[in-house]
Every structure is written in C-alpha cells, then in structure tokens.
C-alpha cells in the first residue's frame, strides 16, 4: 500500500494544514482510512453528490454550519458529524467566524455493518463532554500518520476502529446521555454484582435499590448502556463467571459451579448455559481440555 502525504505549511497563526491520504493496494482492508487531517481555516465545501466514503468532521475552534436535506445544523467545538457516503451536503464557517476542523474519511466492506453494530445507521450529529477522549484520539491518529510509514494501512485501520468505538461510548445524540455517562451511573451496581452474582435471591428490585432508583429507570439505563435489561445482564454475568471457573481448571462439580453462579437448581443452570453457549457445561470443559475427576 502506498502512502501519499500532502503538507501545506504557513497557515494562520503558524498553524499547519495537513492531509494524509492512503492509496489502497490490490487487497482492500475491511475497514480502512481514506484520508485524515486538520484544516485550521476551513473553506466552504459544496458536494451535490456527497462524498464516496464515510466522512467524520469535527470542530476544533470557531463554528461551522452544515446544510443537509434543506436543514441547517451548527457545529461548534465539541461537536462532530459522521456523514454517510453519497449524501449531498454543504458546509461552511459561520459568517464572521474562522472555523478550524479535523476530519477522517474511511471505507471498507465492513464499515457500514460495523457502524450499524455500534448503533449508527445514518448520518449523525454528535456532541461530547470536554474530558471525552474523542479529540485526543483523532489527534493521535493524525500524529501517527505524520510520523509512521504505515505502508499497509493496518495501523491506521486499528486506530480508526478504536476511534469509532469512542464515538459510540462518548458521543451524545439529540441531547441524550452518552453510553459512558450511563455506565458511570451504573458503576456502583456493576461492582456490587461482581461480588454478589452468586446470590440466587437477587431481584430487579434489589439491584434498583443499590442505586436508589426505580426498576423501570434501571432497565432504561441498562438498555442504553448494554442493549439489554438489568436482569439479562445478571444472567450473562453468571454465565461468564461460571465459564471462568470451569476454564481455569476448577474441579468442582457442575452442581457446585451452578450454586456458586447463583443457581439453586443445577438443571436450570445447565439449561441456561446451553441456551447461552450452545453446548452443555461438560462439553465446555472438554472443549478446554478439562474434565472432572
């Protein structure tokens, strides 16, 4: 893979405009960076047919204005837009304001499906708190492109995946809290469950009381953070803990593993394990080269 680097120095206040482009070789990565850079004096851009790749654009300083489907959106600092391919758009600095931006464009056969798995299925407008690492991660990618001869594009691809997951974790849509903010609220309960998952009497009410909130709001937080209910999370946690015990060579019987994992009835544990893993606990042990004595 050939790397093309375009540098333009001498911009306003000594800032540097940089753009790094990666020309793909014969074999296309499932997720690749097309270009990445910084523009300290963003010019107006009018794309009547959109851009052929996914396009992330965020504000560093000043404020920009987007127009999409006849609707105008503001893009102040701490805000970014993820544009899908071939979506017509126009953006420019707000009148009387200088606009500095950072961006990354990307594609790949798995790009759309990966974004969908992160809950991003169309052009999105996101904002984030000042302490969120979204900007620092993109800055790190730009510095890597500047100093690293990434001729395969693999390093850029790995960093891009990390960046997109950060958008999912820290990005806020439509004034709603981010996944990170939901996790912060749930953190005391998650720690409590790590120590008490083996108690078969834990109920949804018990979990809600740990945070002093209603069961309904608790489920809402879990759905926003994990996509499942609070009790479904507990069941998955119990499965994980039981697998840890068995895969580490624990010689306890399946009945004992079941009890330690929060199940009074071993048959209930075996059924739940089979539903979650597609195999029985004994088959799981054999898969890891372990058998009971």
Query: Mapped to the 3 state alphabet, what secondary structure does 118-178 carry?
Result: CCCCCCEEEECCCCCCHHHHHHHHHHHHHHCCCCCCHHHHHHHHHHHHHHHHHCECCCCCC
The CATH number that domain 181-287 falls under is 1.10.10.60
pLDDT digits (tens, 9 = 90+) for 181-220: 889 999 999 999 999 999 999 999 999 999 999 999 999 9
- Say what the pLDDT of residue 167 is: 92
Domain ranges for the chain, please list them: 2-170, 181-287
Q: In CATH, which superfamily holds the domain spanning 2-170?
A: Regulatory protein AraC (2.60.120.280)
74-80 long-range CB contacts below 8 Å, 24 or more apart? 75/125, 78/127, 78/128, 78/129, 78/130, 79/125, 79/126, 79/127, 80/56, 80/125, 80/126, 80/127, 80/128, 80/134, 80/167, 80/171
- Quick check: 144 and 155 in contact, CB under 8 A? yes
- Position 28 scores a pLDDT of 75
pTM of the entire predicted model: 0.74
**CA separation for the pair 225, 183 (Å, rounded):** 6
The residue ranges of the chain whose pLDDT is under 70 are 1-15, 23-27, 149-152, 175, 250, 291-293
């Amino acid at each position: 893979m050939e790397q093309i680097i375009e540098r333009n120095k001498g911009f306003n206040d000594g800032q540097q405009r940089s753009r790094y482009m990666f020309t793909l070789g014969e074999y296309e990565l499932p997720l690749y960076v097309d270009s990445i850079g910084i523009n300290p004096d963003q010019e107006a851009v009018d794309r009547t047919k959109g851009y052929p790749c996914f396009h992330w654009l965020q504000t560093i300083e000043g404020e920009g204005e987007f127009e999409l489907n006849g609707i105008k959106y503001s893009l102040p600092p701490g805000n970014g837009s993820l544009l899908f391919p071939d979506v017509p758009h126009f953006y420019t600095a707000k009148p009387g304001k200088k606009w500095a931006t950072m961006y990354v464009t990307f594609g790949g056969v798995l790009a759309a499906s990966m974004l969908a798995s992160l809950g991003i299925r169309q052009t999105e407008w996101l904002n984030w708190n000042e302490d969120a690492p979204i900007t620092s991660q993109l800055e790190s990618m730009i510095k890597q492109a500047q100093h690293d001869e990434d001729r395969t594009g693999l390093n850029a691809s790995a960093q891009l995946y990390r960046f997109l997951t950060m958008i999912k974790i820290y990005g806020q849509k439509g004034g709603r809290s981010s996944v990170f903010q939901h996790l912060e609220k749930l953190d005391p309960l998650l720690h409590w469950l790590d120590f008490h998952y083996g108690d078969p009497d834990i109920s949804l009410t018990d979990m809600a009381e740990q945070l002093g909130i209603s069961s309904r709001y608790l489920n809402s937080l879990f759905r926003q953070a994990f996509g499942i209910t609070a009790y479904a999370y507990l069941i998955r946690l119990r499965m994980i803990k039981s697998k840890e015990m068995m895969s580490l060579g624990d010689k306890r019987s399946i009945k004992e593993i079941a009890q330690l994992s929060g199940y009074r009835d071993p048959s209930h544990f075996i059924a739940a394990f089979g539903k979650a893993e597609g195999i029985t606990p004994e088959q799981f042990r054999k898969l890891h080269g372990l058998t009971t004595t």
